[in-house]
Amino acid sequence: MSLSDAPLLFAFEIDSSEDFTYIPMIVRFHLDRCGLRISLDQWQLLPIEDRKLLARFPADVPVDPDMAADRESPEPSPGEPSFDRALAEMLRTHGCGEAEVFAPEPAPAWQSLGAPPAALAAQCALAALPVPSPAQWAALGGFERYVLAKLSRKPKLNHDFVPAMREFGLAGA
């Protein structure tokens, strides 16, 4: 696995995440998949270059669920970057405390290709958008499905939901 050349940001994130004041979706994705949680304060204490580096980890890297539960796992192979280890080292180096550890969902709704989750349908209703068909949902990449599910988790309209739906080709301009 190699890191991307640049941070992975969606167009709808540029206004809020371009300066890396807020945690971009790619970092949230890795935090959730690794079973880690950091506060916005911890994120903002990291130097900008470290925040950009964390946003360069690719979205297609599988996470071993046993490693998420076992923080004492062996060192990665030389030259093989690991999101959770990189984050832990950055937090330690800059005196930002430790990430909170939790058990990741064993089967998150975004991984299902059958149909969009109910929370996404609720966001669509709030935004007056049609719910993606099962075929549209299945055609999205895993990271895109994660983003839509993450933006749909609260019962009020998320300000990034409609722009994300547009960017993913699920809503008109």
pLDDT (tens digit per residue) in 10-68: 999 987 777 899 999 999 999 999 999 999 999 999 999 999 999 999 987 554 444 44
Is 31 part of any domain? yes
Question: How distant is the alpha carbon of residue 39 from its chain centre?
Answer: 14
Residue-wise pLDDT for 119-168, tens only, equals 999 999 999 999 999 999 999 999 999 999 999 999 999 999 999 999 99
Is 6 part of any domain? no
Residues 82 and 153 occupy one common structural domain = no
Residues 69 and 121 occupy one common structural domain = no
Q: Give the pLDDT of residue 67.
A: 41
Reduced to 3 states (helix: H, G, I; strand: E, B; else coil), residue 100 is: strand
Q: Give the pLDDT of residue 100.
A: 98
Residues 33 and 113 occupy one common structural domain = no
Q: Is the pLDDT of residue 85 over 90?
A: yes
Q: Give the pLDDT of residue 77.
A: 56
Is 4 part of any domain? no
Q: Give the pLDDT of residue 61.
A: 54
Residues 85 and 31 occupy one common structural domain = yes
Last residue of a domain, one of 85, 101, 117: 101
Segments forming the whole domain that contains residue 151: 109-167
Residues 64 and 118 occupy one common structural domain = no
Is 66 part of any domain? yes
Question: How distant is the alpha carbon of residue 112 from its chain centre?
Answer: 16
Is 172 part of any domain? no
Per the CB < 8 A criterion, the answer to whether 57 and 81 are in contact is yes
Domain count, the chain: 2
Is 77 part of any domain? yes
Last residue of a domain, one of 52, 71, 101: 101
Last residue of a domain, one of 101, 124, 144: 101
Residues 43 and 68 occupy one common structural domain = yes
The dihedral built from the CA positions of residue 29, 30, 32 and 36, taken in this order, carries a sign that is: negative
Residues 33 and 69 occupy one common structural domain = yes
Amino acid at 149: A
Q: Which residues pair with 81 in a beta bridge?
A: none
